[in-house]
A = this chain, B = another copy of it.
Amino acid sequence: MQTIRVETPSAKYDVFAGSGLLETLAPRIERAVGRLPRRVFVLTSPEIWALWSGAFLRSFAEPPLVLFLEPGEEHKTMKSVERLTREMVRAGGDRGSFLIAFGGGIVGDVGGFVAAVFMRGIEYVQVPTTFLAQVDSSVGGKVGVNLPEGKNLVGNFLQPRAVFADIGVLGTLPDRELRAGLMESVKAGIIRDRALVRFMEEHADAVLEREPKALERVIAASIRMKANVVRRDEREGGLRMILNFGHTVGHALEQATRYKAMLHGEAVAWGMVAALAVARRRGTITGAQMERMEKLIYRYGPLPKLRVSAGRVLAATGSDKKNVGGVRRFVLPVGIGDARVVEDVTPAEIDAAVKYMLGRQGVGSRE
């Protein structure tokens, strides 16, 4: 097991990554929180609960109250938050209650937001069950829901008291989800960790076959990278924006395809390809570096075909939340293992990058 310390101005907590965490959760939470919470709720999805409730409940003397969230972005809504908080009130929840978000990124985002607003805020821990949630959404304290107008438009910042990333739970994860999640690790390596890039190049087979040691290495490195960034910039004033590498075009792809055609990690992967194209034109990476990074992205693919026009993707970038005041903000890699945020990317540059990306489908995508 590896322990990664996350420190932000508003909170300090540990992320634990390893095997066998689920079966020993209750004492671990007690240790992290310092006392046994009075009333414990667990928010999870029916699928996860069907697979893992036995292991989850093993260490609890009194079973937590189970709240369910159906899977899918269409349930990441204000309506779900209202329903869940109402259920908590009716079950006797109060300010001393405690929430465990046990599931993928959507359960984590909704659960964290419920914790942030229920009775003006209660404490919670994350127990992420997908690779993506383990390396990305459970660290950093960004919580929230979607509006019909776009993703994550309503939310808050609330750090959990601890995160328990159990690698054993990944055993039941579909292969496509694992690969999509690994794109966040590819991202972590490209923007901040050259050694991780090399490890992922050299051990791709072991990682994709879910060899525990290899997975633990990749997960811990990814979390450590994010923790370092979040520690220095909790509320996304500056540095934290580099975590959005691949997200400008990635979000546009998700919006243009109504969040149905691809997984988030897959959209980010294509977005990284587009960002590499911008970086190459500006000369912040060499042709050889670009080739190596693209190859790494495709190695953890294949990526889905992009059945969308350049025009629609471009239009969607204009409404991207990351563009404060209408600026087209882009994260561009500088070599391998470093990145910077630029604000002056022109529509023409984005146009060329999107067209490059669409042209790479023969190389990087599956049918």
Contacts and interface: CB of A to CB of B under 8 A. Distances in A.
A321 B153 CA distance: 29
A342 interface: no
A38 interface: yes
A153 B119 contact: yes
Interface in A149-194: 149-150, 152-157
A326 B223 CA distance: 39
Contacts of A81: 78, 154
Given A78-B78, A82-B78, A154 B118 contact: yes
B86 A148 contact: yes
Nearest to A150: B89
A116 interface: yes
A366 interface: no
Contact of A153 (B89, B147, B148, B154): B89
B78 A324 contact: no
A96 B154 contact: no
Interface residues of A, number: 35
Nearest to A89: B149
A144 interface: yes
A233 to B, nearest CB: 14
A251 interface: no
B120 A142 contact: yes
A325 B38 contact: yes
Q: Is the interface of A mostly helix, strand, loop or mixed?
A: mixed
Given A78-B81, A82-B78, A156 B90 contact: no
A304 interface: no
Given A321-B95, A325-B94, A155 B86 contact: no
A324 B155 CA distance: 26
A309 interface: no
Interface of A: 38, 78-79, 81-82, 85-86, 89-90, 94-96, 116-121, 142, 144, 147-150, 152-157, 235, 321, 323-325
Given A89-B149, A120-B155, A121-B157, 13 more contacts: A79-B82, A81-B154, A82-B147, A86-B147, A90-B149, A94-B325, A116-B156, A117-B117, A117-B144, A119-B153, A120-B156, A120-B157, A121-B235
8 contacts: A85-B154, A89-B149, A94-B323, A94-B324, A94-B325, A119-B153, A119-B154, A120-B156
Query: What 9 A-B pairs have minimum CB-CB distances, sorted nearest first?
Result: A89-B149, A78-B82, A120-B155, A117-B154, A96-B324, A85-B154, A38-B325, A86-B147, A96-B325
